[in-house]
Amino acid sequence: MNESQEMVKLTINNIPIEVPKGTKIMQAAKVLGIDIPHLCYHEDQRIKAHCRLCSVEVTGKKRLLAACSTEVWEGMDVHTDTQIVRDTQVSILQLMLANHHKDCLSCPRNQNCDLQRLCSRFNILKSNLPSVVKEVPRIETNPSIVRDPSKCIRCGRCIRACKDVQGIAALTYAGRSSDIVVTTAFNKPMEETDCILCGQCSLVCPTGAIVEKDDTQKVLDALQDNTKHVIVQVAPSVRVALGDAFGLEPGAIVTGQMVTALKLLGFDKVFDTNFGADLTIMEEGHEFLHRLNNGGVLPMMTSCSPGWVNYMEKHFPTCINHLSSAKSPMSMFGAIAKTYYAKQAGLKPQEIVTVSIMPCTAKKFEASRPEMGRDGYRDVDVVLTTRELIKLIKYVGLSIGQLPENDFDSPLGLSTGAGAIFGATGGVMEAALRTVYEKVTGKTLEKLEFMDVRGFEGIKEATVHLPGRDVHIAVAHTLKNARLIMEQVKKGTSPYDFIEIMACPGGCIGGGGQPIGTTNAIRKKRMAALYEIDKALPIRKSHENPDIQTLYQNFLGEPLGEKAHELLHTHYHQVDKPYTFN
């Protein structure tokens, strides 16, 4: 196929090169190892050509051309390092700096900021222009996402992520000329808009203009508090993303090293959200069978992705009864930790601090929901994103790659392959099918892999043959795809029985709380790593997890039983927005 591809010959900085027709100057230069500076460009996004930082000189052209948006042509003679190109790069960075809150030390993105990195690269040590930044306070009105408009360089990446990936468009440009800002409809706080707090904007922001709410200090304080028993649970997708920040290959599996790091950080117990995932499968799987057999509301839809739940509540409130009432693995874990585990460990629930390490900004919101707790204590006390965990690990001076491996603690640390794959789109469905199939048929599944629901495709469909009935399933990730599914559900024309939806691209492995620099290419590597973890585990079906079995025998009783209902299920409700465009 490559041979039939039409090739184009050109020179970049006098070096001859041949690339496929249609290649942009920026990618052609990359082949030669030349990194043309850029800020608004993002490899997973539609090209914007706004920042103009990638302007290069092309012989015969009067003006500079943007390397991100200009396709190469036969005989093109590109220069990326002439006086005018340098003047342009430095001037544009200086212009950005003049309209940027420059207190890097106070910035959550210090040392992990594209603007800072580029200034350093071009030896810009200080701003040569008077500051024109409008000092506005940070907007910290919700538990998930903090906006700092004075750090915004108007690159538009967050707008594209929100609109093109999620189909929500909670963020947009407003105003014009030097007054242009990135903001929400009517300048409302994000939680009052269409925003569902998924944090994809924070993942693509090149500066510190949109960041997760930093809760690391709460954890550091709790760890120093001798009266508290601090336990931590880690989501399935964190162990395949954490390594990125420590120079490991994307998709590197660092489960054991991560456990060691958490123990060195001082957590009393290091548990696994995968245990909660197995528990979720027990409840959700039985709930599905119950609905199927008793004429309940179908299609049933998964409810473990909090961004997705928020989306349902805000955008399709009339369809809420389609959501499974099962709590997410994180919240199930929290509920069990404050009850079952507390009892076992001989602790009062209020003596336990549950910390969750999540790939997700919306999880911070989920943990704060009034439904997620009882008797005055929370299921989960603090949620940290993968990014915040990275900060903590660096804070204590650890390097993940060099740490020895350790196992999760018992009893909430043992999990199955089914729990592991929760982190990828299609994983929850596959895990549920493994259990549902065996519960219904009483037979052992011969082939555990449901290949139809794997992969990065936006919407996947499959049919599973159960005795007496075919079950039609669908799996979608990103809310843009979810909307397509939901329009059918709303109209009552959905052909499916069971639907899994994850708010973020690729599922949790691509969550809004994952390390900065997460791209679709990296998401795919993390996805492969999760399936690798699954394959290597001795137990790969949730209902075969012995600790889960013990939990039901000794504490919960039956799935969907009274105790289970009290602790592991919840209700969702319509969320009104203060405006409407109808």
Partner 1 sequence: MSTQVKFLTKNFGQYDTSSIGSYMNIGGFEALRKAVNMNPEDICTMLTEAKIRGRGGAEYPLGRKWSQARAVRGENKVVICNADEGETTTFKDRELIKNDPFNLIEAMSIAGFVCGATDGFIYMRGEYACHRPLLLNAIRQARNYGFLGENILGKGFDFNIHLYSGGGAYVCGEGTALIRSIEGKAGRPRMKPPFIKVSGLFARPTCLNNVESLSLVPHLLQDKTTYMNCGTGESIGTKLISVAGNVNKPGVFEIPFGTTVREIIYNLAGGIQHDRNIQLIQFGGASGKVTDASILDTPYTYDDLRAAGVMVGSGGILVIDERTSVIDFLRMNQEFFSEESCGQCTPCREGNLHIKIILDKLAKGEANEQDIKTMTTIAKVMSMSSLCGLGETAQNSLLSAMKKFPQVFDLGGARA
Which CB atom, from 49 or from 345, has the smaller least distance to partner 1? 49
Q: Is 226 helix (H, G, I), strand (E, B) or coil?
A: coil
Which CB atom, from 177 or from 493, has the smaller least distance to partner 1? 177
Is residue 95 a contact residue for partner 1 (CB under 8 A)?
yes
Residue 136 to residue 415: CA distance in whole angstroms: 47
**What value, to the nearest 5°, has the Cα angle with vertex 312 and ends 311 and 315?**
70
Q: Between the CA atoms of 479, 482, 488 and 492, what dihedral angle is there, to the nearest 10 degrees?
A: -100
Is residue 164 a contact residue for partner 1 (CB under 8 A)?
no
**Binding residue for partner 1, selected from 92, 292, 309, 400, defined by CB under 8 A:** 92
Give the helix/strand (H/E) hosting 532.
helix 520-536
Residue 191 appears among annotated catalytic residues = no
Return all residues near 322 (Cβ < 8 A) that are at least 6 apart: 297, 298, 299, 300, 301, 489, 499
Name the segment binding partner 1 (CB under 8 A); options: 62-70, 215-223, 306-314, 494-502. 62-70
Residue 508 appears among annotated catalytic residues = yes
Is residue 368 a contact residue for partner 1 (CB under 8 A)?
no
Name the segment binding partner 1 (CB under 8 A); options: 80-88, 328-336, 418-426, 460-468. 80-88
Is residue 51 a contact residue for partner 1 (CB under 8 A)?
yes
Name the segment binding partner 1 (CB under 8 A); options: 63-71, 141-149, 280-288, 402-410. 63-71
Query: What phi and psi, each to the nearest 5 degrees, are found at residue 155?
Result: -75, -25
Task: At 283, list the tokens.
Answer: 């409840």
Distance of CA 301 to the CA centre of its chain: 19
**Binding residue for partner 1, selected from 15, 31, 84, 297, defined by CB under 8 A:** 84
Is residue 130 a contact residue for partner 1 (CB under 8 A)?
yes
Q: Which residue of the set 212, 283, 366, 500 is catalytic?
A: 366
Relative to beta strand 269-272, strand 65-66 is unpaired
Residue 351 appears among annotated catalytic residues = no
Is residue 72 a contact residue for partner 1 (CB under 8 A)?
no
Half-sphere exposure of 483 (CA within 13 A, CB side): 11
Name the segment binding partner 1 (CB under 8 A); options: 27-35, 153-161, 268-276, 537-545. 153-161
Q: Which residue of the set 191, 284, 313, 388 is catalytic?
A: 284
Residue 412 to residue 537: CA distance in whole angstroms: 17
Is residue 173 a contact residue for partner 1 (CB under 8 A)?
yes
Is residue 91 a contact residue for partner 1 (CB under 8 A)?
yes
Residue 496 to residue 135: CA distance in whole angstroms: 51
Is residue 297 a contact residue for partner 1 (CB under 8 A)?
no
Q: What is the DSSP string of 451-486?
A: GGG-SS-SEEEEEEEETTEEEEEEEEESHHHHHHHH
Is residue 367 a contact residue for partner 1 (CB under 8 A)?
no
Is residue 541 a contact residue for partner 1 (CB under 8 A)?
no
Residue 304 appears among annotated catalytic residues = yes
Return all residues near 582 (Cβ < 8 A) that are at least 6 apart: none
Q: Tell me the closest approach of the beta carbon of residue 69 to partner 1, in angstroms.
A: 5
Sheet with 352-358: list strands edge to edge. Answer: 269-272, 229-234, 352-358, 382-385
Q: Is the peptide bond before 299 cis (omega within 30 degrees of 0)?
A: yes
Name the segment binding partner 1 (CB under 8 A); options: 25-33, 169-177, 230-238, 501-509. 169-177
Which CB atom, from 157 or from 434, has the smaller least distance to partner 1? 157
Which CB atom, from 96 or from 393, has the smaller least distance to partner 1? 96
Return all residues near 55 (Cβ < 8 A) that are at least 6 apart: 64, 65, 66, 67, 85, 88, 89
Is residue 135 a contact residue for partner 1 (CB under 8 A)?
no
**What value, to the nearest 5°, has the Cα angle with vertex 185 and ends 214 and 149?**
40
Residue 353 to residue 219: CA distance in whole angstroms: 9
Is residue 442 a contact residue for partner 1 (CB under 8 A)?
no
Task: At 104, list the tokens.
Answer: 């890097």
Residue 464, number of CB atoms within 10 A of its CB: 19
Residue 212 appears among annotated catalytic residues = no
Is residue 136 a contact residue for partner 1 (CB under 8 A)?
no
Is residue 132 a contact residue for partner 1 (CB under 8 A)?
yes
**Binding residue for partner 1, selected from 63, 447, 491, 571, defined by CB under 8 A:** 63
Residue 456 to residue 26: CA distance in whole angstroms: 26
Q: Which residue of the set 119, 304, 319, 360 is catalytic?
A: 304
Residue 281 to residue 303: CA distance in whole angstroms: 11
Q: Tell me the closest approach of the beta carbon of residue 57 to partner 1, in angstroms.
A: 9
Q: Tell me the closest approach of the beta carbon of residue 200 to partner 1, in angstroms.
A: 21
Name the segment binding partner 1 (CB under 8 A); options: 44-52, 144-152, 225-233, 469-477. 44-52
Is residue 48 a contact residue for partner 1 (CB under 8 A)?
yes
Name the segment binding partner 1 (CB under 8 A); options: 41-49, 107-115, 260-268, 502-510. 41-49
Is residue 71 a contact residue for partner 1 (CB under 8 A)?
yes
Q: Tell me the closest approach of the beta carbon of residue 171 to partner 1, in angstroms.
A: 14
Is residue 178 a contact residue for partner 1 (CB under 8 A)?
yes
Q: Is 362 helix (H, G, I), strand (E, B) or coil?
A: helix
Is residue 88 a contact residue for partner 1 (CB under 8 A)?
yes
Q: Tell me the closest approach of the beta carbon of residue 177 to partner 1, in angstroms.
A: 4
Is residue 183 a contact residue for partner 1 (CB under 8 A)?
no
Q: Is 68 helix (H, G, I), strand (E, B) or coil?
A: coil
Q: Is the dihedral of CA 214, 218, 221, 222 positive or negative?
A: negative
**Binding residue for partner 1, selected from 45, 69, 368, 519, defined by CB under 8 A:** 69
Burial 145-183, CB ≥16 within 10 A → b, else e: bbbbbbbbbbbbbbbbbbbebbbbbbbeeeeeeeeeebb
Query: Closest by alpha carbon to 44, among 517, 526, 453?
Result: 517
Which CB atom, from 175 or from 557, has the smaller least distance to partner 1? 175
Residue 201 appears among annotated catalytic residues = no
Name the segment binding partner 1 (CB under 8 A); options: 83-91, 143-151, 247-255, 482-490. 83-91
Residues forming contacts to partner 1 in the complex (CB under 8 A) are 47-53, 55, 63-64, 66, 69, 71, 84, 87-88, 91-92, 95-96, 98-99, 128-130, 132, 153-154, 156, 173, 175-180
What residues are annotated to the active site?
284, 287, 304, 324, 363, 366, 371, 508
